[in-house]
Structure 1
Amino acid sequence: MTTTSLPAATETIWNPGQAELERSRILKFVSWAGCSTLSELAAKAAADPEWYWGRVSDWLGLEWQSEPESVVDQLTEPHLTRWFPGGHFNLTENAVNRWIRAGRGEEIALTWESENGAIGAWSFNDLDNEINRVSRGLLELGIEFGDTVGIQLPMVRQAAVAQLACAKIGAIAVPVFSGYGSTAVADRLGISGAVAHIVSNGFERRGKIVETRAETEKALSLAGTVKHAIVVSLVPGCAEPALGGEVSWDDLGASSQGLPVKAAHCPADHPLLIAFTSGTTGAPKGVVLSHSGFAIKAASDAAFSFDIGPGDTAMWITDPGWIMSPITVLGGLIAGSCVALFSGSPDYPEHTRLWDVVRRHGVTMLGVSPTLVRTLMSQDDGSVINYGQLRVIASSGEAWTPDAYEWIFGRVTNCSLPIINYSGGTEVSGAILSNLTALPIHPCGFAGPLPGMGATVIDTDGTSIESGFGELALGRPSPGMPVTFWGAPERYFNTYWNRWPGIWYHGDWVEVGHDNVWYIRGRSDDTLKIAGKRLGPAEVESVVNGFDFVLESAAISIPDAVKGEALVIFARVAPAVMCDAESMAAAIETAVTRALGKPLKPKHVHVVEALPRTRSGKILRRVIRSVYLGNSPGDVSSMEDPSALTAIGEAR
């Protein structure tokens, strides 16, 4: 998505006051690390990543099961870099048990609210007891150290417990978006070889019951690896069909409730989770993130970007299947914050529901998407918005549109709260670019790269540039980067490290202004972002190409007033069957929605006789998008048949 800056974007719209500067956790770290300014810290981090990440680990107070031999083994071959070699580290011990040992056992660790109004809270002691119960239950099912476990739940407390329980016993979590259809779920479970899948029997959405058992049954059948379906009963009466190896969540470890489970001794780079993300071609990529790497990156982002710690309550309106959930939940807990979960529609039954929840739970840091903000903005009736103790709003997943940014900053916060733009992704366990509560904020922009991330801008000829427009790249590895791709180490190297020697290719266009404010200007590859959810065109096109009448297809995204970006599909069919284009388009729309889930339903499906391609056969998705949006296609001299663009333009 392209970001359009607000008028007067060179001017700051928010500046930290004395209160923000005095409580800033990153400024406290700057001083603790022996630096005078943020700029000095960033320079030292760039010159010596080993020093920086070692100091971050120490400042966070992380507890090691056995101390690492060093911070990093080597930096010259970044795709093979290993952080904290020789060390052992368990994330759950650091997210929960460390705080109990520090005397915070009776403090609130987790609060939650569901759409029907049910509210609850757990102390660190309560959370630990529930983690032990579920950990024991998983072990009793035969789930062992290194086994993979799917987790497909809405934003309920069980999702947080499932992630922490898996980590405690050394099992590897596989978060799956709760709105995915059976094909997308099966792909992720099958690729990861999940032996168990934790799933709900349904959920409430906008006052209606959404039953999920039939889709789950299909997904488990397609995946073919799952031995145990652990069912969280969120809605009454949804008991059919029975799932193979079905076990009730409530029955896990019931016979041994109250007995502690010893945390697994995990090597520092032991996989914590497999976070699937999509590229332009092939199956979804299983990004393997480690216990220590994820903990250090997510927790330092929570402290430095979101400025949260003990005494705060963090909430992100997202789904457990997306990376902002573990960053907020796990990173927040490790940073010492309480975490609040909301599993309903944030504008139901009243358009003020989100602010009611924020106020009710004492949320101090709220994460939202521009898509959600645009929805809330469309329902604004001018009434007073009371956000309680909130002091930080954060955003990720997609670029801001000026109208949405102006609304939340001006209308909601009365220009008084910082908007923390936060961009990086699954692959780095957090942000590359971010705003900070200790620095001035420009509308829709970023204060710059976070220390230690090695961010740079690469020109078209592969050289680094100080300002202007180019590719976002990383000149150094960092702890939150993948250990590998699950079962595909060569694909990991080829995806990120093979374009420029020793440089990470991230796939975003960025622009750095003369005032050193950074802006995301869209994807530099063909990856789609629908309502902030990254989706590879191959995932869409594989469904479309499954129809006998489809010869090939192309999936693109276009601007959308609510979602930010919406899915549009072009299906090439033989001229002889063009007479039935309308019914074919309807069938494709239904199939894609069923396979990938309703949130990814296509906005338009166009049946055409030709698609633009290069003479070597590559479909030119970016050219399709440009022509469909009424823009110039650019140089088409390498195109096999430029006349194919005519039908694309006429389809608008």
Structure 2
Amino acid sequence: VRSLTFAELARDVNRVANGLRALGLRPGDRVALIMPMVAGVVTILYAAFKLGLIVVPIFAGFGVSAMASRLQDSGACVIFTAEHLTRRGKTLPLLATVREAAAKAPSVQHILTSFDAFPDAAESETLSLDSETPALLLYTSGTTGRPKGCVHTHAGALIQTAKEIWLGFDHREPERFFWLSDIGWMMGPWSILGNHHFGGAVYLYDGAPDYPDAGRLWRMLERHRITTFGVSPTAIRLLMRSSDPTPFDLSALRLLGSTGEPWDELSWLWFFERVGRARCPIINISGGTEIIGSFLFPLPSDRLKPCSLGGPAPGMATEVVDEHGQAVREKTGYLVCTRPAPSMTRGIWNDPARYIETYWSRFPGMWDHGDWACVDADGCWFILGRADESMNVAGRKVGPAEVEQALIEHPAVSEAAVIGVPDQIKGEALVAFAVLRPGAHAGEPELVAHVAHCMGAAFRPRAVVCVPELPKTQSGKIVRRLIRQAYLGEPLGDVSTVANAAALDGCRR
């Protein structure tokens, strides 16, 4: 464990800034971070900001192709990386992978693994920059097509992250904030920038949450007296199967957080009751890389229903609309933003036409975020999954999250994914994939009947396939599009962003 004061951080930031200036970098040049989640990422982040450089975080667990595509697209000229990664007690090569990827990106001039080459710790001038100067180039995971480079400005990124830490997570001193994430995903920079704006302490962890044993995560929360802890629903579903947080002293916890995908009620209640001891509100946030923040989040003082997101985040003109762009309540619709927000990406790097097509083409004058959402009779907001993953069964639209929740309510099922496949009669039929709890047994007819009972006969799945694991991105999102392609026997294309690509084999018909 390494603790770093702000004075020590400032010294290291000056060293790196002076070193980057000596390399001849100029404002607007791109610096890639392909590193484990260690303190050095904070140093490099701030050193680059000092000089007006654009930081390009890239997940260190990517393969060569995924790294190379982001390096090529961004035009990064410097890469900061490490000699190796450590995963579940094993040492994995990183530098060799980075070098192979960099060989495919002509813009790369330097690959650095330490600050030793930068001895000058004298005060480095912080440039005065326009508020619209790009600060970050954040790439989406690419599971819905070629990765998109989202351009975030200094002012937009800072105001959004600070607002959410202050209002959504009720920042106080002295507290310790820990979100189980990686610098390669939005929640890494989000956690650092938002908390440090107020001088808050951030806890960084690089490794698996359940290694060397299932209690690893809970021991860290106990030992370091973490006060705010955020995690994805997928991680909780996995931990539910193997760990029990109740023996650990988690009394320092004040708030819980979550993001990344819709909750199911069983997992949400486990997180709330077992981890939060039924006293810590779950600040469930939903937004994305494209806005380095949230369209929806509750305040800690709000009354919450399981799985809900409260309502529109302060300062965000969020709405749920039908296919005609009209606001709707108590029915599923498209999540949109009706007015611009400072943190919206200024475009897709090197692809302005794709930016317009992706976010602004469905509803004139509205940002279409691509999610299904609904607002219930009590005014509580819920995210139901990606709109491009919705299914139309005999004229009835349904999102995967709703069917997956029904399946997870079966006592034998711990995780589920649902896709739509062509059907001559209904147009689309449902096919579900289920991961059973350890030691549990349930046959396909039983699970099919369970879904039909919960959802109605119209949504009876054509099949429920039990698999050892579901294929997911490195950030834990289920890759339903690839599951569907595997099941239908279609070419998968690039699967470099999938953490466990071999799991797709179990999804083939």
Q: TM-score, normalised by structure 1?
A: 0.62
User: Does the CA-based 8 Å contact 1:332-1:338 persist in structure 2?
Assistant: yes
- CA separation of 1:464 and 1:193: change in aligned 2, threshold 3 A: same
Aligned to 1:334: 197
Spell out structure 1 runs of 4+ moving beyond 3 A. 278-282, 556-564, 569-573
Residue matched to 2:51: 169
1:576-595 alignment, distance < 5 Å: 595=496
Q: Which residues in structure 2 correspond to 1:41-440 (within 5 Å)?
A: 119-231=1-113, 249-254=114-119, 256-257=120-121, 259-277=122-140, 283-381=146-244, 384-440=247-303
- Deviations 1:520-576 (CA, angstroms, capped at 9, x unpaired): 11101259xxxxxxxxxxxxxxxxxxxxxxxxxxxx996657766255264699xxx
Which letter does structure 2 place at the counterpart of 1:148?
Answer: R
1:98-134, Cα deviation, whole Å (9 max, x unpaired): xxxxxxxxxxxxxxxxxxxxx1211111111111111
Partner SS, residue 104 of structure 2:
helix
Moved more, 504-513 or 214-223: 214-223
Distance 1:224 1:300 in 2: 39
Determine the structure 1 residue equivalent to 2:408: none
Which secondary structure does the structure 1 equivalent of 2:383 belong to?
strand
Q: 2:376 aligns with which of 498, 513, 528?
A: 513
Gaps of at least 5 residues in structure 2 are: 391-430, 437-468, 470-475
Name the SS for the 2:44 alignment partner: helix
Which residue, out of 568, 584, 594, partners 2:483? 568
**In the alignment, which residue of structure 1 is the partner of 2:355?**
492
Q: Is the 8 A contact 1:455 1:472 kept in 2?
A: yes
CA–CA separation in structure 2 for the residues paired with 1:558 and 1:201: 38
Instruction: Give the Cα–Cα distance (whole angstroms) in 1 for the partners of residues 433 and 184 of structure 2.
Output: 24
Change (3 A) 1:520 1:572: closer
* Aligned-partner SS, 1:299: helix
1:603 maps to 503
CA offsets per residue over residues 434-469 of structure 1, 9 Å max, x none? 122111111011111112110011102221224421
Cα gap change, 1:183/1:340 in structure 2, threshold over 3 Å: closer, same or farther? same
Instruction: Identify unmatched segments of 5+ residues in structure 1.
Output: 1-118, 232-248, 528-555, 574-580, 607-627, 629-650
Contact 1:558–1:568 (8 Å) recurs in 2: no
Structure-1 separation of matches of 2:221 and 2:81: 27
What secondary structure sits across from 1:471 in the alignment? Answer: strand
Q: Percent identity?
A: 36
Taking a change above 3 Å as real, the CA distance of residues 223 and 294 of structure 1, as seen in their structure-2 partners, is same
* Alignment-mate amino acid for residue 73 of structure 2: I
Secondary structure of 1:174 counterpart: strand
Matched residues in 2 for 1:210 and 1:569: separation?
Answer: 31
Query: Does the 8 A contact of 1:312 with 1:338 survive in 2?
Result: yes
The answer as to whether partners of 1:418 and 1:437 remain within 8 angstroms in 2 is yes
Distance in 2 (CA, whole Å) between partners of 1:372 and 1:497 is: 33
Pair 330,564 (structure 1): closer, same or farther in 2 beyond 3 Å = closer
Distance 1:261 1:386 in 2: 43
Change (3 A) 1:279 1:349: closer
What amino acid maps onto 1:375 in structure 2?
L
Alignment size in residue pairs:
430
Post-superposition Cα deviations, 1:236-276, rounded to whole Å, max 9, x if no partner, equal: xxxxxxxxxxxxx132421x12x011111111010010011
State the structure with more CA Rg. Answer: 1
Q: 1:476/1:252 Cα in 2 relative to 1: closer, same or farther (>3 Å)?
A: farther
Pair 1:488–1:565, CA change in 2 (3 A): closer
Per the alignment, do residues 600 and 123 of structure 1 end up closer, same or farther by CA in structure 2, a change over 3 Å counting?
Answer: same
Other structure's SS at 2:314 match: coil
Instruction: Read off the aligned partner of 1:251 and give its amino acid letter.
Output: D
Q: Structure 2: which amino acid aligns with 1:423?
A: S
Instruction: Name the amino acid aligned to 1:147.
Output: D
Aligned counterparts of 2:259 and 2:182: Cα–Cα separation in 1: 13
Q: Is the 8 A contact 1:280 1:525 kept in 2?
A: no
Q: Which residue, 345, 361, 366 being the options, matches 1:482? A: 345
Aligned AA for 2:57?
P
Q: Distance in 2 between matches of 1:421 and 1:267?
A: 33
Distance 2:160 2:36 in 1: 24
RMSD: 2.6
Letter in 1 for 2:32: G
Which of 311, 315, 325 is 1:448 aligned to?
311
After superposition, what is the alpha-carbon deviation per residue over 1:164-202, rounded to whole angstroms, capped at 9, x for unaligned? 111111100001112111111111111010001111111
Change (3 A) 1:252 1:331: farther
Q: For 2:321 and 2:18, how far apart are their aligned partners in 1?
A: 50
SS at match of 2:135: strand
Q: Aligned partners of 1:497 and 1:353: how far apart in 2?
A: 44
Q: Which has the higher contact order (CA 8 A, sep 6+)?
A: 1
Q: Deviations over 1:295-350 (max 9, x none)?
A: 00100001111111432211111110100111111111113311111112222223
* Aligned mates of 1:515, 1:570 — CA distance in 2: 38
Partners of 1:600 and 1:423 lie apart in 2 by 25
Q: In the aligned structure 2, how far is the partner of 1:177 from the partner of 1:278?
A: 10
Q: Which secondary structure state, in structure 1, belongs to the residue aligned with residue 71 of structure 2?
A: helix
Q: Deviation per CA, 1:468-489, whole angstroms, max 9, x where unpaired?
A: 2100000000111112221222
Once the two structures are TM-superposed, the CA of residue 431 in structure 1 deviates from its matched residue by 0.8
